[in-house]
Amino acid sequence: MKRSLALSRVYQLLEPGPVVLLTTARDGRSNVMAMSWLTMLEFAPPLVGCVVSNRNASFATLKATQECVINIPTDDLATQVVGIGNTSGRDIDKFATFGLTRQKASKVTAPRIAECYANLECRVVDTRMVTAYNFFVLEVVKAWLDRSCAHPRTLHHQGWGTFGITGETITLPSAMP
Amino acid sequence: MKRSLALSRVYQLLEPGPVVLLTTARDGRSNVMAMSWLTMLEFAPPLVGCVVSNRNASFATLKATQECVINIPTDDLATQVVGIGNTSGRDIDKFATFGLTRQKASKVTAPRIAECYANLECRVVDTRMVTAYNFFVLEVVKAWLDRSCAHPRTLHHQGWGTFGITGETITLPSAMP
């Protein structure tokens, strides 16, 4: 169902600010964390800046492998998103615990999450801000989108398990990307 | 109507990823730009990372004054947001053109926008990533919130004037901020 998306359109998925699920893998083990602190930095090639705290198990894996996948869930996965955010991959296999399906990525070792409507395969391209802010700069090298999900009800975290859900969509005349 | 908000709660306003209006001021002239590329970097003191392109008139003012206000609009301001994003402060007074009211900020010279339900007064605290990414690190030094706006219908830009609007809000049990 998911097909390749032009890299120049990736910003349209992340600019609205949805919660995402970040997957990493090392030595045959994969993990997933919930993340809301990310922003676009450049349109093309798409660059994404994100905070992965050094308290997260994913931090060491991301630093070592320099690879990850950004997966975008919709509100049918809200329970899993909160569960993932409240547990650690040091203790459990989050894929098994939360019933998520690993899908092979094409350019990175980290898995894609089948249940998410979009998957962005990423490589770390700048670690200069990691010491100061745990801030990684990622380049999206391959993007996948389920086009049957025309108006994704994405989750936007307001803290402590409260999420705004994207409802109505409006379009106004604009010459700006 | 707007009252002070504890700085430790500022992330709850920005983490959901709304479009914001960034105000700056210099030599008695103020300007406003629309911005979607921003992220939280730290809870307390609240640090925000944002991209202000060097093509924007606001870039030079922000760099020179090291101050700004992040104003968060709701969907009743959608037309103004798009207008602000499609014009330049080099050509027009955007406050006059789009009927926005300047409100005095308490800690910075840049004005707050009265019509926005939240205003975050900011100082630039790190410019190391400006050359590479036009990425400024801001510290929020004072926050204002209209608490009568309990479920703000914030705008989330999907590109080319299309916005998702925050509709339903859900809360799931979570121990995470």
Reported as a single tens digit per residue, the pLDDT across A54-109 is: 999 999 999 999 999 999 999 999 999 999 999 999 999 999 999 999 999 999 99
Q: Residue B81: helix, strand or coil by DSSP?
A: helix
Confidence of residue A132 (pLDDT cuts 50, 70, 90): very high
SS3 content of chain B, % helix, strand, coil (to 5): 20, 40, 40
Nearest to B115 by CA among B170, B160, B152: B152
Q: Is the Cβ pair B15, A36 closer than 8 Å?
A: yes
**CB contacts < 8 Å between A and B, how many?**
174
Q: Is the Cβ pair B50, A39 closer than 8 Å?
A: yes
Structural domain contains residue B93: yes
CA separation for the pair A73, A117 (Å, rounded): 6
Nearest to A47 by CA among A135, A166, A115, A109: A135
pLDDT over threshold 90, residue A1: no
**CB neighbour class for A99 (10 Å; exposed up to 12, middle 13-18, buried from 19):** exposed
> Ramachandran region of residue B80, left (φ > 0), alpha (ψ -120 to 50) or beta?
alpha
- Taking the Cβ of residue A87 and every Cβ of chain B, the question of whether any pair is shorter than 8 Å is answered with no
Number of folded domains that form chain B: 1
- Taking the Cβ of residue B59 and every Cβ of chain A, the question of whether any pair is shorter than 8 Å is answered with no
- Please report, to the nearest 10 degrees, the dihedral formed by the alpha carbons of residues B155, B170, B144, B57 taken in order: -20
Place of tokens 């970097």: B41
Closest residue in B to A171 (Cα) is B162
Place of tokens 């900020």: B105
Q: What pLDDT is attached to residue A42?
A: 98
Q: What pLDDT is attached to residue A149?
A: 93
Structural domain contains residue B117: yes
Closest in A15, A36, A157 to B158, CB measured? A15
pLDDT along chain B (177 residues), means of 10: 95 97 97 98 98 97 98 98 97 98 98 98 98 98 95 97 97 97
Structural domain contains residue A174: no
Place of tokens 């093309």: A44
Structural domain contains residue B177: no
- Taking the Cβ of residue B79 and every Cβ of chain A, the question of whether any pair is shorter than 8 Å is answered with yes
Percent of residues, chain A, with pLDDT higher than 90:
99
Q: What pLDDT is attached to residue B50?
A: 98
CA separation for the pair B140, B18 (Å, rounded): 16
Confidence of residue A43 (pLDDT cuts 50, 70, 90): very high
Structural domain contains residue A177: no
Nearest to B113 by CA among B84, B140, B73: B73
Burial A19-28 (b: 16+ CB within 10 A, else e): bbbbbbbbee
Residue A78 with chain B: CB contacts under 8 Å: 170, 172
- Taking the Cβ of residue A51 and every Cβ of chain B, the question of whether any pair is shorter than 8 Å is answered with yes
CA separation for the pair B77, B52 (Å, rounded): 21
Closest in A128, A129, A176 to B85, CB measured? A176
CA separation for the pair A16, B110 (Å, rounded): 26
Residue B50 with chain A: CB contacts under 8 Å: 39
Are B56 and B33 contacting, i.e. CB atoms less than 8 angstroms apart?
yes
- Taking the Cβ of residue A85 and every Cβ of chain B, the question of whether any pair is shorter than 8 Å is answered with yes
Residue type present at position A2: K
User: Residue A158 sits in a domain of what CATH number?
Assistant: 2.30.110.10
Average pLDDT (A122-128) is 98
> What number of other Cβ atoms are within 10 A of residue B146's Cβ?
18
Mutation choice for B interface testing from A127, A151, A160 by most B CBs within 10 A:
A160
pLDDT over threshold 90, residue A110: yes
CA separation for the pair B59, B127 (Å, rounded): 12
Q: Which B residues, 100 through 159, put their C-beta within 8 Å of a C-beta on chain A?
A: 126, 128-129, 132-133, 135, 137, 151, 154, 156-159
Closest residue in A to B35 (Cα) is A15
Beta strand pairing call for B118-126 and A112-113: unpaired
Q: What pLDDT is attached to residue A99?
A: 98
- Taking the Cβ of residue A59 and every Cβ of chain B, the question of whether any pair is shorter than 8 Å is answered with no
CA separation for the pair A128, B130 (Å, rounded): 13
Structural domain contains residue A118: yes
Structural domain contains residue B106: yes
Could you tell me the CA-to-CA distances from A98 to A82, A85, A86, A142 in Å, in that order? Answer: 10, 11, 12, 25
**CB neighbour class for A84 (10 Å; exposed up to 12, middle 13-18, buried from 19):** buried
Two structure tokens written together for B101: 């009211």
Whether a cis peptide bond, with omega within 30° of 0, leads into A45 is yes
Confidence of residue A112 (pLDDT cuts 50, 70, 90): very high
CA separation for the pair A17, A39 (Å, rounded): 7
Closest residue in A to B75 (Cα) is A170
Structural domain contains residue B175: no
Domain that holds residue B120: 2-165
Average pLDDT (A131-155) is 97
